[in-house]
Structure formats: C-alpha cells, structure tokens
C-alpha cells in the first residue's frame, strides 16, 4: 500500500510515463501538475551536481571534461581506497521481497520468461548489484510524510517512485524495483517499432499491465 | 563514522547566515565571508534545492491525502529531512521559527544526524546567537535584504569555536 | 501523598477525555508547562527581578518626562526585541513535546499554560471570544508578578501608563517569529484601579512564507 506514483522522465526533463496508485492523486493532480513535478525533480539533479562538496568534485562526471582545457593541472590522482567507495553497491532484492519465486506462480513466471528483467538467472545468487558511478545523482529524498526514490539509467532516463511512510522500503529495494522497471521499459516500450524515442508513452496497454503486475508482485500496492 | 563536508544555516528570509565547508584531506576551511562569491552562489543553490524539494513533497502529500486548506492560520506543515545522492547526503532541520540548519555528510543510511542538528540548534545557536544581545534579531535589516538578497551573516568567534569543536571530531 | 494527587489527576483527565478532547489537551498543556518550568528553567530571585524592572521603568519615565504614551511605545519595542529571541528559546526547551496548535483557542492555551508558566510562573485565565476572534489573558488582582510592590503615582496613573507593557511586545514578536502577525495590547491594569489585568490578542493573520527572488 505504500507506492503512490511511478514516473519516467527522459533525459531532457520531459515526463514520458506516469502511473498513480492512489485514487486521491488521480483525482487531484492533472497532467499539467505532473509535468511540473517531473521538471522540478529533473532540475534537482542539476542542482545536486552544482553543490557538490569540493572534496568530491574530482569524482564528478563533469570533472574530466574541464580537465582537457586546463592542461597544467595535475593528473587526477584517485587512490584505490577512495575508488572503492564508488560505484555504490546495492543490496539485491529478488522480486516479491525475499519470497523465493515459486515455479507454480504463473504470472510471475510469465513475466520473468518474457522479459530480460534483472533478477532472473543472472543475479540470482549474487548479493550485490553494482550501480554505475552515480556521484551526484539523487537517490533518495526523505521527508516526514513522503519518500521519493530515484534511479537514473546510464542513458539518462530517470525512474522516480514516490511512496508514503506506511512502510520503510529502503533505497536498495526500490533501486532494484526501478531497475526492473527499466528492463521492462527497454523490452516492452523501446522494442515497439511504432514508439518514437524520448516521446511520451501513450496507449501502451501491455506496458501498463506489466507495470501493474510487477508492482503487485513486489507487494508495493 | 560520518564525514562532514559542510554546514549551513539559513534564516526565514531565505538568506544564508552561516556557512562553512571542510576539506577532509587538508582540514582546510572555507567560510562564508562578505567577499566570497563562491560560497554565496553555492548557498543560493543549496537553499533552492531544499526549498523546492520540501515544497514539492508538501504539495504532493496534501493532494495524496485529499487535504483541503480550511484554516489559513494553522496550515498543514511537513518536515523535510534528507536528500541523499550517490556521494553525499544533505540533512536538514527546519525549526518552527523558520530557520533551516543543514549538514552535508557522506552517504550513510543509518545516521540520521537529527540529534546532531538539534544539538547545534539548542546548545550552540541558542547560546551564542539568539540569547546574545549583540547579535542581530533579524539578519535582514531592511526590506531590500529579504527574499534571499541579504548579505549579513553570523560573525561570532565563540560560535565558530563551538561549531568547530563539535564538528571536528566527526571529520 | 503526592502520588495520590497525580493519580487522581490522571483519572480525572481520562474520564473527561471521553467527553471533551479539548479539555484533555488543556490538561496536558498545563502539565507540560509545569514540567518544563520545574526541569528546564533557570530561576532568579523574584525581588531582584522586580527591583530591576522597577528601576528600569523609572529611568524610562524620567527620560521621557513622564510622557506615558512614549513610555508604553518604548516598552513595547523593547519587548519585541526580547520576544523575537525568546521564541527560539521556548521551542528549544519544549520541542517534540508540544502538540501542534490547530486553532486560535489552542494558541491561547499554549501561550498561557506553557509560555507564561515557563517564564513568569503565573498562569492567567484565557478568555476566548469566538465572534471577534480575540484572545484575552486575564490576571487576577495580584497574579501579575510585574506589578508586585508597585504603587503608581497619581499623575502617571492619569496618563494611563501600562507598567508591564513589555509583555505585550514579547507576545507580539514571539508570534511573529512563528509567522503569525497580530495586535497585542493591554486593555486594563490593576495598577490603574481596574479589577483585572487584561492583555488582548486580536487580528491574528498569517505571514506568508517568503520565497527567494525569481520564484
């Protein structure tokens, strides 16, 4: 019962997909509000990069770009112990939150078989997934009424899930969930020949259903 | 063990009144002074981030519980606690009087930093700034210094000393 | 003996709670005020305080050549600079324990049972006027500690000097600190031969939160 909304934002900050799991949200927020919400969240990513503490600036994505211009400066010297802190390790949660996927669960099997979702054979026995270097990407926003979790794919698509405080979901679990949404997205949406990249996903009933199924399997609704 | 990168105080006129940034390697200290445009710029961005994120969560929450604004004197308030990114977290404490205390630390999910921020507010800020008759009541002395346009800040060596004494063991 | 009293109190509040949650909240606020006063507040000698405040008001009256209006104004201005500091002190001492105010009556009760109790150890009677939306704090004849030992001379009495007008400034600035704008004034004072000392809060409005330039 804790997930309230799921948003997908393209790399230029436009909302391409959103699904609300709360009736009040459906009633009170119109599509324009949702677009504003998405672009605000997108701009927060730029801000967190700007206010990166000076100590961490050598890890940031844009650091190496400016390096080329100033040749006099020292080479980037990152010792091994520092490098080990990034990338971040995410603890792996299987679908259905620790419940082993049983072979007789038809829906789950179908969903797993049809898509290349993270969390099937490849990661089954591993404890950690290594997230790529997200030095200044927001991962979690915590207020006393809401939790907002972020996952940014390496191509710049952002997945955002907004949840209430009824259950403490944890960053790792939600990152795993959003990785699965990413893999669903790449399967069901991007492989569709009639979908133009970076445009809003409209009338894709298959994707809608599968998201709903995934969310139910994860016990998030 | 938590590393602290920087510490900020904002007043209710959206001005940054105290900021200090620590370099963990050399223990070098960068402070908010009247001349350093670097810290002023950064403070504005920091406030903008905290402001827009807390406003966003607040409006979203009001819509999700179908809240109707009935009493304009006592509106629904929510507290904003933390933004965590891939390499650092911003912990905030907003007091009822509109001050925002904010600590930037490394990522550590267990540490909430709420006790530390409360301590800074109750023991250090109250003692050296609020109850000190020679500090300003309000750091915006005129209308033109409100809305984030102000430049005054806390210049109090005892306050500095206590803040450093509190933070240095955590570095 | 003391344990008996406290258990009686809790019984009373629990039976009443079924009838009136407001009353229960009032009792809680009273207990909170008592607790914070006992535990967290530093105390000074009352006589010393009275004499200090007395000589301070005397100096002010001499300075303004017995102009009571100017004195009232100045006392209020001083109170405002005290109040804007005390509100931080107040919240840092009661944080996490004080329930949120949801209406004007709550606000009045909180100021009276916690605020006045903490700082001057006197609890005034709260008179809430629903139609005019005003709150009145009423001190019985000798309850206002500022007035202890004070006999106003006749010429100043005629000009209506409110001896403890500093309190109205404190309340005004403290409420401004939590974004509530209001008018606070004395409407009667036992020193001016009125029956009670009344402080009235009226025209409470909310100060809009400031937003940064360009938002």
Residue A96 has pLDDT above 60, yes or no: no
- Are B51 and B80 a contacting pair, CB within 8 Å? no
Domain that holds residue C13: 2-206
Domains of chain B (ranges; CATH) run 4-170 (3.30.450.70)
What percent of chain C has a predicted confidence (pLDDT) above 70? 89
CB atoms within 10 A of CB C178: 18
pLDDT at C172: 92
Task: Please list, residue by residue across B47-77, b when 16 or more beta carbons sit within 10 angstroms of its beta carbon and e when fewer do.
Answer: bbbbbbbbebbbbbbbbbeeeeeeeebbeee
The number of domains in chain A is 1
Query: What percent of chain A is modeled with pLDDT above 70?
Result: 64
pLDDT, position C51: 92
- Sheet with A15-20, edge to edge strand ranges: A15-20, A3-9, A158-164, A146-152, A138-143, B80-85, B88-94, B100-106, B4-10, B16-23, B28-31
Of A48, A88, A162, the CB nearest to B60: A162
What pLDDT, on the 0 to 100 scale, is given for residue C97?
Answer: 75
What is the rounded distance in angstroms from the CA atom of residue B167 to the CA atom of residue C16?
Answer: 49
At C158, which CATH number?
3.30.1380.20
> Which of these ranges, A43-57, B86-100, C134-148, has the smallest mean pLDDT?
A43-57
What 3-state DSSP class applies to B104?
strand
**Domain containing residue A175: CATH number:** 3.30.450.70
In a domain, A53, yes or no: yes
Confidence of residue C94 (pLDDT cuts 50, 70, 90): confident
| Helix%, strand%, coil% for chain C, nearest 5 | 55, 15, 30
Q: Is B138 on the interface with C (CB under 8 A)?
A: yes
Helix/strand number for chain C, H first, E second:
8, 4
Query: Which pLDDT score, from 0 to 100, does residue C33 have?
Result: 87
Question: What is the distance in angstroms between the Cα of B122 and the nearest Cα belonging to chain C?
Answer: 5
Min distance A122 CA to chain B CA atoms (Å): 25
User: Is some CB atom of chain B closer than 8 A to the CB atom of C42?
Assistant: no
CA distance A204 to A202: 6
Question: Which tops the pLDDT comparison, C113 or A188?
Answer: C113
- Of C122, C111, C152, C115, nearest in space to C49 by CA: C122
A64 in a domain, yes or no? no
User: What is the per-residue pLDDT across B108-141, written as a single tens digit (0 to 9) for each?
Assistant: 666 678 888 888 888 898 888 888 888 887 777 7
Taking 50 as the threshold, does the pLDDT of residue C7 lie above it? no
Question: Which pLDDT score, from 0 to 100, does residue A43 have?
Answer: 87
The predicted pLDDT at position C91 comes to 84
Query: HSE of A206 in the Cβ direction (CA atoms, 13 Å)?
Result: 12
Q: Residue C71: enclosing H or E segment and its boundaries?
A: helix C68-94
Total of domains in chain C:
1
Residue A180 to residue A118: CA distance in whole angstroms: 6
Asked whether the predicted pLDDT for residue A74 surpasses 50, the reply is no
Contact A144 B65 (CB under 8 A): no
ipTM above 0.90, yes or no: no
CB hemisphere CA count around C126 (13 angstroms): 22
- Binned at pLDDT 50, 70 and 90, residue A133 comes out as low
3-state class (DSSP) for residue C180: strand
pLDDT surpasses 50 at A100:
no
Mean pLDDT of A62-76: 47
pLDDT (0 to 100) of residue C2? 37
Could you tell me which chain A residue has the CA closest to the CA of B25? Answer: A55
Q: Find the closest chain A residue to B40 by CA distance.
A: A51
**B171, pLDDT greater than 70:** no
Residue C214 lies in a domain: no
| Binding-site residues on chain B for chain A (CB distance < 8 A) | 5-6, 21-25, 30, 42, 45-46, 48-49, 52-54, 56-58, 60-61, 63-66, 78-88, 104, 107, 109
pLDDT value at A200 more than 50: yes
Dihedral-angle region of residue A201 (phi above 0 means left; psi in -120 to 50 means alpha; beta otherwise):
beta
**Domain limits for position A194:** 3-58+80-217
Residue C203 has pLDDT above 80, yes or no: yes
Q: What residues contact residue C76 under an 8 Å CB cut-off, 6+ apart?
A: C165, C166, C168, C169, C172
Do C116 and C182 contact (CB within 8 A), yes or no?
Answer: no
Residue B13 has pLDDT above 80, yes or no: yes
Average pLDDT over residues A160-180: 83
Q: Is residue A110 part of a domain?
A: yes
| Residue of B48, B131, B146 with shortest CB distance to C210 | B146
Which of B74, B76, B101, B139 best probes binding to C when mutated, by most C CB atoms within 10 angstroms? B74
| A171 in reach of chain B (CB within 8 A) | yes
**Touching check for B69 and chain C: CB below 8 Å?**
no
Mind listing the pLDDT tens digit for each residue in B21-80? 887 665 667 777 766 778 888 888 888 888 888 888 888 888 888 777 766 777 777 788
- Say whether residue A43 is in contact with chain B using an 8 A CB cutoff: yes
Q: Is the pLDDT of residue C169 over 90?
A: yes
Domain membership flag for residue A42: yes
| Mean pLDDT, chain C, whole residue set | 83
With respect to residue A46, please indicate whether it lies within any of the assigned structural domains: yes
Task: Tell which C residues from 65 to 84 touch B, by Cβ distance under 8 Å.
Answer: 81, 84
Q: Do the domain assignments include residue C51?
A: yes
DSSP string, chain A: --EEEEEEE-TTS-EEEEEE--HHHHHH--HHHHHHHHHHHHHHHHHHHHT--GGGGGGSTTHHHHHHH--SSPPP---HHHHTT-SPEEE---TTTTPPPPTT-HHHHHHHHHS--TTSSTTTT-SEEE----SS-EEEEEESSEEEEEEE-TTS-EEEEEEETTS---HHHHHHHHHHHHHHIIIIITT-TTPPTTS---S-HHHHHHHHHHHHHTT--
How confident is the model over C170-185, as pLDDT tens digits?
999 999 888 888 999 8
Position C212 in a domain: no
A69 within domain boundaries: no
Instruction: Give the closest of B74, B126, B137 to C102, CB-based.
Output: B74
> Which is more confident, A74 or C180?
C180
Q: Whole-angstrom Cα distance, residue A199 to residue A16?
A: 6
Contact A178, A149 (CB under 8 A): yes
What is the mean predicted confidence (pLDDT) over C59-81?
90
Confidence (pLDDT) at A213:
79
The answer, yes or no, to whether residue C14 has pLDDT greater than 60, is: no
CA of B154, closest CA in chain A: separation in Å? Answer: 21
Q: At residue B15, does pLDDT exceed 50?
A: yes
pLDDT at residue A72 is higher than 50:
no
Is the CB of B130 less than 8 angstroms away from the CB of C88? yes
How high is the pLDDT of residue C207?
Answer: 82
pLDDT for residue C35 is more than 70: yes
Residue A94: what pLDDT?
Answer: 65
């Amino acid at each position: 019962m804790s997930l309230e909304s799921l948003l997908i934002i393209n790399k230029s900050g436009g909302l391409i997909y959103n699904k609300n799991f709360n009736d009040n949200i459906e009633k009170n927020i119109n599509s324009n509000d949702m677009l504003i919400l998405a672009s605000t969240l997108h701009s927060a990513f730029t801000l967190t990069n700007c206010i990166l503490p000076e100590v961490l600036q050598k890890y940031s994505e844009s650091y190496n770009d400016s390096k080329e211009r100033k040749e006099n400066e020292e080479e980037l010297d990152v010792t091994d112990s520092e490098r080990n802190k990034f990338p971040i390790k995410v603890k792996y949660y299987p679908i259905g939150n620790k419940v082993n996927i049983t072979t007789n669960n038809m829906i789950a099997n179908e969903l797993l078989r049809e898509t290349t979702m993270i969390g099937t054979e490849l990661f089954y026995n591993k404890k950690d997934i290594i997230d790529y270097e997200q030095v200044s990407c927001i991962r979690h926003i915590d207020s006393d009424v809401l939790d907002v979790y972020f996952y940014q794919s390496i191509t710049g698509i952002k997945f955002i899930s907004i949840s209430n405080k009824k259950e403490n979901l944890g960053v790792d679990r939600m990152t795993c969930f959003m990785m699965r949404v990413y893999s669903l997205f790449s399967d069901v949406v991007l492989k569709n020949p009639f979908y133009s990249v970076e445009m809003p996903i409209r009338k894709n009933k298959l994707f809608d259903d599968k998201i709903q199924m995934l969310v139910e399997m994860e016990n998030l609704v | 063990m938590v590393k602290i990168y920087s510490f900020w105080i904002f007043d209710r006129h959206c001005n940054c009144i105290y900021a200090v940034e620590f370099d963990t390697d050399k223990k070098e200290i960068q402070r908010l002074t009247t001349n350093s445009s670097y810290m002023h710029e950064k403070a504005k961005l920091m406030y903008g981030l905290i402001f827009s994120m807390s406003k966003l969560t607040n409006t979203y929450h009001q819509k999700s519980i179908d809240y109707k604004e009935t009493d304009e004197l006592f509106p629904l308030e929510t507290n904003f606690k933390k933004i965590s990114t891939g390499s650092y977290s911003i912990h905030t404490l907003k007091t009822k009087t509109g001050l925002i205390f904010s600590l930037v630390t490394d990522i550590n999910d267990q540490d909430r930093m709420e006790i530390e921020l409360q301590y800074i507010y109750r023991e250090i800020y109250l003692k050296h700034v609020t109850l000190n008759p020679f500090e300003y009541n309000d750091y915006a002395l005129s209308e033109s210094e409100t809305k984030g346009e102000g430049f005054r800040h806390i210049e109090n060596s005892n306050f500095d000393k206590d803040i450093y004494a509190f933070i240095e063991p955590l570095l | 003996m003391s344990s008996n009293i406290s258990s009686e109190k809790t019984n009373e509040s629990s039976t009443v709670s079924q009838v009136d949650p407001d009353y229960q909240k009032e009792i809680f606020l009273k207990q909170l005020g008592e607790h914070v006063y006992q535990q967290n507040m530093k105390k000074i000698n009352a006589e010393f305080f009275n004499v200090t405040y007395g000589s301070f008001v005397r100096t002010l009256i001499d300075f303004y050549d017995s102009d009571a209006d100017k004195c009232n104004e100045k006392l209020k201005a001083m109170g405002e600079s005290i109040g804007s500091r005390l509100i931080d002190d107040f919240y840092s001492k009661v944080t996490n324990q004080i329930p949120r105010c949801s209406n004007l009556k709550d606000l009045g009760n909180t100021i009276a049972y916690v605020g006045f109790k903490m700082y001057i150890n006197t609890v005034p009677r709260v008179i809430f006027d629903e139609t005019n939306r005003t709150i009145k704090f009423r001190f019985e004849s000798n309850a206002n500690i500022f007035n202890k030992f004070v006999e106003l001379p006749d010429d100043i009495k005629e000009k209506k000097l409110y001896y403890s007008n500093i309190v109205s400034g404190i309340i005004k600035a403290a409420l401004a600190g939590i974004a509530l704008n209001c008018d606070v004034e004395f409407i009667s004072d036992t020193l001016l031969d009125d029956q009670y000392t009344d402080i009235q809060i009226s025209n409470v409005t909310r100060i809009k939160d400031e937003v940064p330039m360009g938002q």
